Amino acid sequence: MHFPSPLTRGALVQRYKRFFADVALDDGTEITAHCPNPGAMLGLNTPGLRAWVSRSDDPKRKLAHTLELVEADGGLVGINTMHPNRLVAEALTADAIPELAGYASHRREVRYGAASRIDFLLESPGRPPCWLEVKNCHLMREPGLAEFPDCVAARSLKHLNELSTMVAEGHRAVMLFVVQRTDCDRFAACAELDPAYARGLLEAAEAGVEVLVRGCTISPEAVALAQAIPWRDAPIRPQ
């Protein structure tokens, strides 16, 4: 996924009210950017962090700029939670995720469960439907360990329960975490910040929900899905 226009570099002044960030650009201009991230952004909202913003010329937008990347722990981190679905859509079209390859159609935002919408429904004749939920992950507190969530995530737990229900009905269900960092080689549910979600993820996996984790390559020009990352707390299944 290439950014539609070159990103502009600056330094984070403050992130506030969840969806706003003040950034001092390298040319001395200070702007307020949209922060497309409802999470806590632990470790990624420290004033002074190097940051990159995109700019839109859409006259209908209240804020022309969007915070896209910050530099933390020596590497780039994508904070835009809209990007994982776009990255996965590109990868599905290219059959670039082996576990999800070969489906004839990829429908988005299909209604299911209790008033929910699945990120992707993958379908092919002769195969059970595959219900695919995608989550953005960018929390790292221990070097190399990506964690999700970074705050209590009741809605995400609801999605896990609904995926488990699809498995019970004879469908395939997949939970895919997209780690928008370049410095992680393993993944775990963050039981300290949301013990209910950590339990829920393990229970969903034991119920047959497949858990996949992918890292990213990130630059100021583009973001793309990369290597598979192992889930540290995955249940051990008999061979």
3-class SS of residue 89: helix
For 113-171, strand residue ranges (E) read 116-123, 130-137, 139-142, 145-148
Distance between CA atoms of 203 and 152, rounded to whole angstroms?
A: 17
**What are the Cα distances from residue 12, in Å, to 25, 97, 151, 215?**
9, 34, 21, 24
Burial label for 103, CB within 10 Å (0-12, 13-18, 19+), is middle
pLDDT per residue as tens digits for the range 98-119: 999 999 999 999 998 777 899 9
Asked if the bond preceding 4 is cis, omega within 30° of 0, the reply is no
Residue 238 is predicted with a pLDDT of: 53
User: Residue ranges per domain, the chain?
Assistant: 8-78, 83-228
Cβ of 185: how many Cβ atoms within 10 Å? 13
Q: pLDDT class for 235, splitting at 50, 70, 90? A: confident
Residue 21 is predicted with a pLDDT of: 97
Q: Is domain 83-228 in CATH 3.40.1350.60, yes or no?
A: yes
Evaluate whether 130 touches 122 at the Cβ level (below 8 Å).
yes
Domain 8-78 belongs to what architecture? Beta Barrel (2.40)
Q: pLDDT class for 219, splitting at 50, 70, 90? A: very high
Distance between CA atoms of 101 and 27, rounded to whole angstroms?
A: 45
Distance between CA atoms of 167 and 130, rounded to whole angstroms?
A: 9
φ/ψ (deg, to 5) at 48: 100, -15
Mean pLDDT, range 193-208, rounded to an integer? 96
Residue 67 identity:
L
Q: pLDDT class for 197, splitting at 50, 70, 90? A: very high
Beta partners for 29? none
Distance between CA atoms of 6 and 184, rounded to whole angstroms?
A: 26
